[in-house]
Amino acid sequence: MNSTIACRKALPADVDALHDLIQAYAAQGIMLPRSREALLRHIDSFFVAEEAGKLIGCGSLFRLGADLVEIRSLGMAEGYKGKGLGTMIVNALIEEARALRVPKIMALTYAVDFFVKNGFQVVEKEIFPEKVWTDCVHCSKQHCCDEIAVVKVLD
């Protein structure tokens, strides 16, 4: 990973770049879209990666309960996949979960190998009723969801 890439908490000024990055994934059907208003409202839950002032990656944490957070909106700009950027962002999110004293971190993903490489285990989605009742009930894929659930228990 290039030493000029920095990972930091997102700022309100990042909303447009965050929106563009997330919408590119949403257009492919692999990430839920987020409005600019929703991003601004939840900006404190996001971490971003930047290089030379350009936002090149993002991810957020969403609290599902006292002992569980979810990684959401994890993505990176074209040309940065496979270079450690995702791991850098996930590590920042894991440290944030630890700081919040949340013992479990989960994600629904198509990138199972990536999460397994980063210490997550594949589990059944049904063990997360918090997720099902928060988001899945509103999702168009709720009866044919093809995402895989992963979890990491923090020490």
CA 87, 90, 48, 39 dihedral sign is positive
Cα–Cα distance measured from residue 151 to residue 128, given in angstroms and rounded to the nearest whole number: 10
- Segments in the chain forming alpha helices (H): 15-27, 36-41, 85-99, 112-117, 129-134
Dump pLDDT digits (tens) for 6-28. 999 999 999 999 999 999 999 99
Long-range contacts for 9-16 (Cβ within 8 Å, ≥24 apart)? 9/44, 9/46, 9/47, 9/48, 10/43, 10/44, 10/46, 10/47, 10/48, 10/58, 11/43, 12/40, 12/43, 14/43, 14/46, 14/48, 14/55, 15/39, 15/40, 15/43
Three-state SS at 126: helix
Binning pLDDT at 50, 70 and 90, where does residue 62 land?
very high
The pLDDT value given to residue 32: 83
Domain count, the chain: 1
The pLDDT value given to residue 137: 45
Residue type, 46: F
* CATH number for the domain harbouring residue 71: 3.40.630.30
Dump pLDDT digits (tens) for 88-146. 999 999 999 999 999 999 998 989 999 999 999 999 877 776 555 455 444 555 555 67
Residue 63 belongs to domain spanning: 5-153
